[in-house]
Amino acid sequence: NAGVTQTPKFQVLKTGQSMTLQCAQDMNHNSMYWYRQDPGMGLRLIYYSASEGTTDKGEVPNGYNVSRLNKREFSLRLESAAPSQTSVYFCASSLDRRYEQYFGPGTRLTVT
């Protein structure tokens, strides 16, 4: 099992560009999550999907959109990147929201 995989690993964008971060899990988990990690701020939830077909906002959703493409895949889209979105982005999944969350290796995004 690969667990939770994320692509790309690194990305540099210019202000105003758009991109989609991809996440996939092979553990047959129902719930998936997107977090960002910033120095001094810790990890914060952007969006989550409790089950296939549902998505909900987390603590810091502004500037992002998500798509739960199927049970395995959960993507995060930045429509118009801003320097404030420079961060490390982590995807996670769990059997359901009551259980242990498993994290991917992260995507390091720099917006200039």
Which residues in this chain contact another protein in the complex, by CB under 8 A? 4, 33, 35, 40-45, 48, 50, 56, 58-59, 90, 92, 96-106
**Min. distance of Cβ 43 from another protein in angstroms?**
4
CA distance 24 to 73: 4
**Min. distance of Cβ 95 from another protein in angstroms?**
11
**Min. distance of Cβ 18 from another protein in angstroms?**
25
Sort 31 into a burial class: Cβ within 10 Å, 0-12 / 13-18 / 19+.
buried
> Strand 10-13 and strand 107-111: pairing?
parallel
Nearer to another protein, 66 or 92 (CB): 92
Nearer to another protein, 62 or 100 (CB): 100
Nearer to another protein, 26 or 96 (CB): 96
Candidates 27, 26, 67, 71; CA nearest to 51 is 71
Sort 25 into a burial class: Cβ within 10 Å, 0-12 / 13-18 / 19+.
buried
Nearer to another protein, 19 or 45 (CB): 45
